[in-house]
Amino acid sequence: MMTIGEAAAASGVSAKMIRHYETVGLLRPHRAANGYRVYADADIAVLRFIRHARDLGFPLEKVRRLLALWRDRNRSSAEVKRLALSHVEALEAKAASLRAMAASLRQLAEHCHGDERPECPILDELEKAP
């Protein structure tokens, strides 16, 4: 049984975020008589779970669903896999979009002299009509 500060240290989630996860309903710690939140080992496990999921880029809504599956002893691994792969697709789509931007811009930059002169194909491109 620990306070929020200890739970933060034990889980690697900041106290601020722990409270936030509670307000969005991912967590329900007990309260001591003085109003302090009290975290049991199971709560710490939840917090670590959340952190790992966040480290993999899952948005909180998907973390919520993962948690539900985690707690459900009758889940099918298929459902977990589906959720995970949909997230993989989202990540890859986003990454591809960023890489496309980077590639276009790098392309433009390669044609830029990068000297004292003001002429610059990067600005020319940004200025274009369409």
Q: What span, in angstroms and rounded, lies between the C-alpha atoms of 111 and 37?
A: 59
66 in contact with its own copies (CB under 8 A) = yes
Q: Which is nearer to DNA, 14 or 104 (CB)?
A: 14
DSSP state for residue 13 in the 8-state scheme: -
CA 107 to chain centroid: 30
How many residues of this chain bind its own copies (CB under 8 A)? 56
Query: What is the nearest approach in angstroms of its own copies to the Cβ of residue 89?
Result: 8
- Other CB atoms closer than 10 Å to residue 51's CB: what's the count? 17
Phi, psi of 10 (to 5 degrees): -75, -25
Binding residues (CB under 8 A) for its own copies: these are 45, 48-49, 52-53, 55-57, 66, 69-70, 72-78, 80-82, 84-85, 87-88, 91-92, 94-96, 98-99, 101-102, 104-106, 108-109, 112-120, 122-123, 125-130
